[in-house]
Structure 1
Amino acid sequence: MRDKSVKEIKEIADNLSEDKYLEFIEELKGDERKSVNKIAISLAKKLDKIRLEEERLERINAYENEGYEKGYTYIAGVDEAGRGPLAGPVVAAVVVLKQGTKIPGINDSKKLSEDKRNELFDIIKEEALDYGIGIVGNEEIDEYNILNATYMAMRKALNCLKKQPDYILADAVHIPDVDIEQNSIIKGDAKSISIAAASILAKVTRDSLMYQYDEIYPEYGFAHHKGYGTAEHYKAIDENGITPIHRKSFLKNVIY
């Protein structure tokens, strides 16, 4: 590599496939040029990140692997989005992945940017053996309360599956009236790939609905806050009253 300019070396490094990083770093060893050393260090840091991500993807398959070891064959992850907002539905999703599936970047939807969630949304649907989405609106939330409405959304999502799972991994809940073995995992959306996948499908689906509501009720700013109780949202309620998608049970102290 010493016969190549720093610019040429950088160009090679920028276009290098990940599996060639280590070999290229070895080739750069002994080159006394500081700029070349920086390129090698940069590649080494990228390699460390790749290895850390690989280790994380192994860890977040642990609950699924534990299920397979117990003899389960069709393992579903379940999560929801939208329990806290003042307006809009609660959305639940269920995802069944192939054993050993690894999707780089997948994580609790709250830890990801909107662009990353949207990217992973399509990848998850392509990778999934099966998935389902359940939506329960604000009127049912007011009638049955948010916890029961969340369970309703989860059961709806499960009913969308082509095949009933034999094991459910759920994020910090046990879904009542479901005769399937369940494992409730605290912070499961960051610990289980199936739950993380479900959290992304639920979040992206709900956000998409709130963008649609923003077009119907533009003065409320639903595209920004997605129905959560921000200062902007409360101000809009004060000025315009409530909409048909607001949860009245969440607004008992608000005059409308």
Structure 2
Amino acid sequence: MFIDTHVHLNADQYEEDLQDVINRALEAKVEKMVVIGFDRKTIERTMELIEQYDFVYGVIGWHPVDAIDCTQEDLEWIEELAAHPKIVGIGETGLDYYWDKSPKDVQQALFRKQIQLAQKIDLPIIIHNRDATGDVINILREENAASVGGVMHCFSGSVETARECIAMNFMISLGGPVTFKNARLPKEVATDIPLEHLMIETDAPYLAPHPYRGKRNEPAFVPLVAEEIARLKGLTIEEIAQATTDNAKKFFGIDS
């Protein structure tokens, strides 16, 4: 059994065949999926999906790329929705310096506000980090994010950075890139970081694992991530499935 801890079933890419995508995931023994809503449209869709499917849980927040669009009213709305028992985290939030739609100071201010919101309502935070590791780590420290902990989503940093995050009560989540031939850092992290600190995800419809790289990703592919971690650690895929599923259930407070 597997849990896809970060998937965008609310994406337009699934509009035509969502039920087929979900059926393929269930056939692949992906027993639960955590759907991430990161703006008005995807949050509304996330709330619909968690009501529609017993095995779907939600995380809601505001993506750093669109930080400039987020209002105080939006944050208050997110706080209200987060009272739903199937909302299990705040995010994805963080910093993205690759895209320049939202200035860095605007991203940083919103990141801090979402950490504070997570602390207020006692939910973990799901972190998006692209080309911003130093500032992400500093803000997590300054805001005492360890008090709620969280997930470093689709982690692509070094073993040293992973250890820093673990020391702050964060899980390391690996996705499709760990299967890419030249993905040195994710492979090192998968090899080196103890299994008790790891979770797996797809980030579907993005970042499909090998051999589907470049195609639309879907939660049915999460076993390919587990398979590569198993290879790197010298364990069976069943051992990876069991450990990462247990980790996700414990972390998100998801019932068996």
When you count strand as a share of all residues, which structure comes out higher?
Answer: 2
Superposed pair shares fold, TM > 0.5: no
TM-score interval (norm. to shorter): under 0.3
Give the TM-score of the pair, scaled to structure 1.
Answer: 0.23
TM-score by length of 2: 0.23
